[in-house]
Structure 1
Amino acid sequence: MALDIAFLAIGLVLLFVGGEGLVRGAVSLAARLGMSPLLIGLTVVGFGTSMPELVVSLKAAFYGSPDIAVGNVVGSNTANILLILGAAAVIYPIPTRIPGIRRDLFVMLGVAFFTLGLGYMGAVDRLTGSAMFIALIGYLTYAAMSGKSDDDEEKPATLPLWQQLGFIFAGLAALVYGADLLVTGATSIARSFGISEAVIGLTIVAVGTSLPELATSVVAALRKHSEIAIGNVIGSNIFNIFGILSLTAIIHPISINPTIAGFDIPLMLAASVLLVILLLGSKHLSRLIGGGFLALYAGYCAWLFTQTPGV
């Protein structure tokens, strides 16, 4: 137990150090390439911080734990919206007037509806996974072609290129390793209390693998880079389904637990719809909205744990 607690502490430190480095490098790289910070948040930051989810889902599928593989992805998407943006907004309100965000929001929403369909199917086979991955490549190609900043000229970068890339890769490495330590410790503690794999996947593993997004979005909000904070969550939610779930299914087809299909996926979809409405209909995510997000997430987790006998 003492070792598991140490893993938790070290993991948290690495997460926030990594988040600081990743945001600093990503913002500077966006300026150098003349790309919008939103696009960098959607791709480099959003997909990069989803690497823990990819590793966990692949491991879970190979070891015959599909509930953890699917619960990790679905739970992470819900946590990205309610927990991560909620916490970031409570710390510092996030402006929502971001050019070009409408397209990516509706892509994220479409992916959430598609996941609902996968839940009704009850499984993700190799053919479906391949189609999802091809769709992701198409989206990335289109986003890259339309993701230039309004100013076509290269903007002055505050850091040399090698330092920008160093911050990004070192930040990602710290985030991934920190998340792995935290998930290892938390999962071991949870299993000792008899918590089911589905609940572990939807809560502890999902939150743990989403901590890179949390650290990155909080740092971005504090530095007033709302495009990075929001783009990170949108990009991660798209990649979690069309990247992670598709690659997992291509390598090892997975089944979807009826409970996850009937409750957790619809909840993820509802959170996605709520986020779209708020981002398009308000000028910023206020502390009040952030607090509401956190309250909803706390209620969701409390409900999940009540479903585990003896907990």
Structure 2
Amino acid sequence: MNIWNTTSDFILLGLFNHTETHLFLFVMVLMIAITSLVGNALMIFLIHQDAQLHMPMYFLLSQLSLMDMMLVSTIVPRMAADYLKGNKSISPAGCGLQIFFFITLEGGECFLLASMSYDRYVAVCHPLRYAVLMSWQLCLRMTVGSWFLGAADGLMQAVATLSFPFCDAHEIDHFFCEAPTLVRLACADTSVFENVMYICCVLMLLVPFSLILISYSLIFAAVLQMHSREARKKAFATCSSHLSVVGLFYGAAISIYMRPKSYRSANHDKIVSVFYTIFTPLLNPIIYSMRNGDVKGALRKCMSQCPTSSHE
């Protein structure tokens, strides 16, 4: 098999064929992606506009929505353009950028969810010291740290992946460039890189996940000691939205990155990738808006002010 250099384009085989059924599924996915972008943009707008939401908890939530918007924008427009135009080629630079942004946003979201779990721990277990233990300075540091750690991992994986020589079979059986899928096309021994990449993925997933488990273990221990039923109910309501998002995100991420190779298939990887790159960003604002009284109040206030503003 011949070896070709990374100046040649890759071919993304995509997610859909040109059949009526697949056209319907494509339209559905596109509508979900657009709804996801609108929902997350609305969440950011409400948090920015409503003074009652100017708290570390909601600032972190706005960063989560920003990451979700960028994730959808990184994957879906390219996928839609390739399907509509029939041009499935992507340059190595474009492929590297997709890998970088994808890993940056997924890795950053891991650490951001861990930061949000600490925020919930302080709010439930140390409410009187919340302003001290969860200061704006600490909040900004955790946010910057989440973006930085994600970007460092993304840059490392993008550069390392594209440094391999690739074979004639340069077709990527996916709808976007993902490092594990691309490495399978390399005409070189990638075992060391794959092991390092696996360790990085485990650390990026398990370290934040362990922090989340510790935070919620302490939260549940504190909740069980509360004598008031209303206090317990309020504490669970405070944490339920974040727990739902954590379950969705980590369930999909662990399924795709920590599953043994022998159990992996291209179709399964694509289905799971659709879930956490398109569906999960849609569910996040829905979960937080439906289960959070402050967000619902901000939305009602915004809707009540819109007619007034247009009338004036």
Higher relative contact order (CA 8 A, sep 6+): 1
* Higher CA-based Rg: 2
TM-score (norm 1): 0.29
